[in-house]
Chains A and B, each alone.
Chain A
Amino acid sequence: MKKPAILIDLDRCVGCQSCTVVCKMENDVELGEFWTKVVHMGPYGKFPDLQMYFMPKLCQHCEEPSCVDVCPTGASFQREDGIVLIDHNKCIGCQFCVMACPYGVRHLDKRSGVVTKCTLCAHRIDAGEEPICVKSCQQRSRIFGDLDDPNSEISKKIQAAGDKVYTLTDTGNHPKVRYILQKADWKG
């Protein structure tokens, strides 16, 4: 079984926000809301030894998604390949999934009254394409692939980076997005 995931090489990201913009265009994300965005980390340290990096954030498509566990209608669900999605025809807009997400990546779409978030561009993946944020990343910072395939680019990159591969804080949900950071100290 394939395990599609995104790896983000933070050493390459320049914070251009093109992923943020194309994601909004591709997925018709509500004005003022985001499915992915790039957060500035730092600067840290003491002059002249300062560090900073750019941190793209998005739904982590967790292995044990707490948002799915709390959903009272089954609208939030996990596909067999691990992608976490929301069936908008079942969602009642109770927002308990928003409360249960440690990363704050879900929001209530006020236009439709349902909760929305990054789908990992499942519609594109199913058509054999990459998520739009990966395709449009001019720095090739985002890499999409199969975590279960040791020969995939994503698996090789993770292996090569050794202990410089990170995830966001794990509160028991096991986030799946991987981050590589070698040129600065990881601050989460």
Chain B
Amino acid sequence: MEIQWHLVFYTLLVGAGVGVFALVAISELMGKGKQYHMSGSIISLVLLALGGFASFLHLQHPERGANILGNFQSPITQEMYLAVVTGLFILLYIVMIKIEASTLSKKVMAGLGLVFGILLVFFSGLLYVFPARPAWNTLLLPLIYFTSSLSLGIFVLYSWIRFKKLEEKAVSDFAMKALSALLILQSLLLVGYLVFLSANPYPDPTRSIGRVMGGDLTAFFWLGVVLVGLVVPLFLVFQSIKPKAGHSLPPLTIGAVGILATLVGGVAFRTLMYLLGTTVEKF
């Protein structure tokens, strides 16, 4: 099917929003990073809203959107409610900061937003796991959605912290360690996805490993998904964790290039998914 660009950006923006909030929530739970809890949460909400807007643009008849509300058995309806609940917890967390609520209540709200956000990101990828499309029928797909979009979100907040000079070394270090873990996990997941493609129970040239490893999608995969989406961010992260004397990159450069690279990589993987996403039977 055609690439659904609005959904590509929906999943990426929502995941990035949750990635931003994840770092805020974890630093809240760690009792650190007070200076950017409010601004980080607002950035997170803005990203979630932008994602929601992209999803809205995807609909051909948004004026009939109310029909979604009562249809709880549909995974799309469930996802919508999950997004609303996540947004609500983040909003409540912002309110709690504003009214200077107790530390415990802020921690509880941050924790709830984090848990529902993580569920939302995973679920937004899980929606595409259809037996109908053999190249999508794997849990590796939502996991790669998860790692790619959360990485983007963490780079966004890292850049914001550095831009506003709100630096708390412990949090920056934690962000970089989280990024390295996510990106290493993503590389393992990508290897797993290639293995999955090669062992698919419904083989077809349109979704074969051959398209990715020597066919028309080879350059796209290696340049977009691997080089830009994985190698560049990993290089930036390791530059930040262990800078070489005289060759260290400025933190803002690391943040900005990291945002761009993870954004391109996230779009590239999602695009690849559509390009490989042919149905079990041709029509």
Contacts and interface: CB of A to CB of B under 8 A. Distances in A.
A90 interface: yes
A136 interface: no
A98 B60 CA distance: 14
Nearest to B78: A72
Contact of A188 (B136, B277, B279, B281): B281
B58 interface: yes
Chain B interface main SS type: loop
A108 B281 contact: no
Interface in B51-87: 58-62, 64-65, 67-68, 71, 73-77, 80
Chain A interface main SS type: loop
A95 interface: yes
B142 to A, nearest CB: 14
Contacts, number: 99
A82 B210 CA distance: 40
Nearest to B131: A171
B4 interface: yes
B128 interface: yes
Number of chain A interface residues as a range: 35 or more
A95 to B, nearest CB: 7
Given A99-B1, A99-B128, A169-B202, A92 B64 contact: yes
Contacts of B164: none
Contact of A93 (B60, B127, B283): B60
A136 B278 CA distance: 31
A72 B61 contact: no
Contact of A92 (B60, B73, B279, B282): B60
Nearest to B72: A72
23 contacts: A34-B283, A37-B283, A39-B282, A69-B74, A71-B71, A73-B64, A73-B68, A73-B71, A89-B64, A90-B67, A92-B59, A92-B60, A92-B62, A92-B68, A93-B61, A94-B59, A96-B127, A98-B1, A99-B128, A103-B281, A104-B281, A114-B60, A168-B281
Given A98-B1, A99-B1, A99-B136, 13 more contacts: A66-B132, A72-B67, A73-B64, A73-B67, A73-B74, A92-B65, A92-B68, A93-B61, A101-B279, A108-B60, A114-B60, A114-B61, A172-B131
